[in-house]
Amino acid sequence: MVQFSESAPHTRQGKLIVLDRDGVINYDSEQFIKSPDEWRPIPGSLEAISRLNHAGFRVVVATNQSGLGRGLFDMATLIAIHEKMHKALSQVGGRIDALFYCPHTADSACECRKPKPGMLTEIGQRFGIDLTGVPCVGDSVRDLQCAAAVEAQPILVLSGKGEKTLREGNFPKDTVIFPDLAFVATALLAGD
């Protein structure tokens, strides 16, 4: 499933970065983010997205949202959560160009639930881009495995579940590690 931002440019040029949502952009919860009130940005994350936008990056979110499939919230609530995120981003001059989500539970046989690469494959097709080397930022091993499956660059942030992911190891060997999304943006823009 995909939601395009109304302000999304319809160009096939430029750079692309793919972000997980919970634990990367906003605080995560073991009980899921089930309402707009529960969605709270991690300090510096919205500004990091804005900096990436202004440097020519298209920012795409790819997120597992099994709370939909579990009946913990409905589609209208997910849309309201994302509207809050879009509004908060616009207040700092940032935007999400497209938002891809998997609504399925862990026991489904879908191809879109990370660590399976279906969402990233669709992102590559929709944007007409080869994902080899494209930065993909996540806080869980499944985010990193998904990135590796399409030869994108897995980036682990230590926000969200990132500290636990780092301790447990077992992520792709070419994973790059940063404290949070703000540090990712700084590193990418320094190398630009």
Catalytic residues: 20, 22
Q: What's the count of helices (H) and strands (E) in the chain, helices before strands?
A: 7, 7
| Spatial distance between the Cα atoms of 102 and 149, rounded to a whole number of angstroms | 17
Q: From residue 58, give the alpha-carbon distance in Å to each of 100, 145, 156.
A: 14, 22, 19
Contact present, 15 and 150 (Cβ < 8 Å): no
| Spatial distance between the Cα atoms of 100 and 123, rounded to a whole number of angstroms | 8
| Spatial distance between the Cα atoms of 180 and 5, rounded to a whole number of angstroms | 24
* Torsion angle of the four alpha carbons 104, 107, 111, 115, in this order, in degrees rounded to the nearest 10: 100
Contact present, 101 and 63 (Cβ < 8 Å): yes
Contact present, 158 and 150 (Cβ < 8 Å): no
| Spatial distance between the Cα atoms of 64 and 23, rounded to a whole number of angstroms | 12
